[in-house]
Amino acid sequence: MLVVFLKFAAPILLPIAISFFLTIIGAPAVEKLVKIKIPRIVAAGIVTILMVLTIFILISVMNEAIIEIRNNMPQYNISIKNSVEKLKVWLEKRGIHTEELELIPLLPTDLFASFIGSIIKGAATIVTFLTLVFITTFFMLLETPKWKTKIGGDLSHNIFKNVSSEIQTFLLYKTGISLVTGFIIGISLYLFDVQFAVLWGTIAFILNYIPNVGSIIASIPAIAFTLLDNGLKTAILVTVVYILVNFIIGNIIEPHLVGREFALSPAVIIISLMLWSWIWGVGGMFIATPLMITIKSILKNSSYSYLTRFIE
């Protein structure tokens, strides 16, 4: 019943959930501005505007590259056809029938063109959604001093304070790690003379928030376009870069920095990812891990702390 409600109320609950996590990230900055005698409403406005500008820059970078990719689709189609012809010649020399390959040149172009079209058509929806998120975040930032009385009681407030602190630490670490991942990917691809290196670095940064599968999804378009633009050797090098970066950061650096405090079972992460993506779509994929961290932190700071062993 609860899952049905969450899915039905997604247009309302998803922006509220995202706003909640943005508020937790932005609240310390607001408090620091208030301490230097800046009115809370102005401080909340400044922090919200900085968040808006960050998202705007990311969207602008991606939009510019996507438009250029769309304009270059005829050239990519030619590259695909030439690659397929070479593959056909290679296979025919070895006595392998190649009639099925006739459909390959049309497939990627049509699919990608359709994908680009859907992004452009959904731009108004995205803008509306983000507007709602940032308006809600602004008012949440204004209300943070009153949360103690609204939650009720010192004990409840202390639990909430501990939970907020842990989520804040996790999100800040995750943001920093994602920035480093995107930066290394972007610089590496630029050094390999890969087109749209900034776009691929930005996508790596954004999708790194999605655990386990995010880095894989981010690598697929970058490797595919490198193969079309730069050839097989560079595509292999780019693949190696993605594997090394995600292995070193995801399996060595991130666990060391974040520590066991935020450790979740891989099975729990995957199940959470599938569940929240089904309930709230792409947005659910991004906040699946923060939601699980929130649940774990609430349990840990309550009388039900023994339940945390089931999700670690």
> Is position 226 within any domain?
yes
In a domain, 309, yes or no: no
Q: What is the pLDDT of residue 106?
A: 47
* Sequence-ordered strand ranges (E) for the chain: none
Tally of helices (H runs) and strands (E runs) in the chain: 13, 0
| 15 and 64 housed in the same domain | yes
- Do 60 and 20 belong together in one domain? yes
Same domain, 212 and 145: no
Are 61 and 163 found together in one domain?
no
- Check residue 260 and give its pLDDT: 59
Given 151, 174, 207, the domain boundary residue is 151
Same domain for 63 and 14: yes
**142 and 48, same structural domain?**
yes
Low-confidence spans in the chain with pLDDT less than 70: 1, 76, 80, 83-84, 86-124, 147-159, 258-263, 304-308, 310-312
pTM: predicted TM-score of the whole model, two decimal places: 0.78
Q: Which two tokens stand for residue 202?
A: 């930005």
- Is position 312 within any domain? no
Do 169 and 233 belong to one domain?
yes
The residue type found at 262 is F
CA–CA separation, 12 and 218 (whole Å): 28
Domain assignment present for residue 293? The answer is: yes
Both 186 and 252 in one domain: the answer is yes
pLDDT in tens, 279-308: 888 888 888 888 888 888 777 777 766 666
- 183's tokens: 């930066």
Work out the angle between the directed axes of helices 10-35 and 40-71 (0-180°, nearest 10). Answer: 130
> What residue numbers bound the domain in which 201 lies?
154-303
- Do 276 and 161 share a structural domain? yes
Instruction: Assess if residue 253 is contained within a domain.
Output: yes
Helices 197-207, 214-230: axis angle to 10 degrees equals 170
Q: Is residue 298 part of a domain?
A: yes
> What's the number of domains the chain is made of?
2
Name which of 281, 299, 15, 17 is nearest 166 in CA terms.
299
Mapped onto helix, strand or coil, the DSSP state of residue 94 is: coil
User: Does residue 180 form part of some domain?
Assistant: yes
pLDDT digits (tens, 9 = 90+) for 91-111: 666 666 656 555 444 444 455
Is residue 181 domain-resident? yes
Q: Which residue, of 133, 151, 169, is where some domain finishes?
A: 151
Domain boundary among 99, 131, 151: 151
**Mean of all residue pLDDT scores within the chain:** 79
pLDDT at residue 282 in the model? 80
**215 within 8 A of 250, measured Cβ to Cβ:** yes
Instruction: Answer yes or no: do 140 and 158 share one domain.
Output: no
Kindly provide the residue ranges of all beta strands, DSSP E only, lying in 153-286, ordered along the sequence.
none
From the number of C-beta atoms within 10 Å of its C-beta (0-12, 13-18, 19+), residue 162 rates as middle
Whether 86 and 225 map to the same domain: the answer is no
Query: To the nearest 5 percent, what fractions of the chain are helix, strand and coil?
Result: 85, 0, 15
> Does residue 296 sit in the same domain as residue 161?
yes
